[in-house]
Amino acid sequence: MLFRSAAELTADARLVLDNVRELLGTKPRLSMSICSVASLTDAATAERRLELANQRAVAVRDYLLARQTIKPQRLRECLSHEAKGDAKATVELVF
């Protein structure tokens, strides 16, 4: 996912999530996990990096639930973690 700042979704990310929301709307038995990964360049401390990762996962979840077309129990959050090496921060959607 792409973020403008710490946990603000970009327009491109919202378009992707609109497609995900549409998919979930047509597949009522499908559930999804939202897994956030912090980059070592996100913040100076591990605690702050994990906090940012959690905020990103919440931003994705909240966006998907905003129109109230998806039941919250269909979305699960994974435990956020730090990326290895120079990997970039990301939010992974796992069906």
The model's pTM is 0.87
- Both structure tokens of 16: 């992707």
pLDDT at 5: 63
Q: How do residues 52-95 score in pLDDT, each as one tens digit?
A: 889 999 999 999 999 888 999 999 989 888 888 787 888 889 99
Q: How do residues 11-46 score in pLDDT, each as one tens digit?
A: 999 999 999 999 999 999 999 999 998 888 887 788
Q: pLDDT grade, residue 1 (50/70/90)?
A: low
Neighbours of 69 (CB within 10 A): 11
- Both structure tokens of 82: 């730090």
Kind and range of the H or E run holding 93: strand 90-94
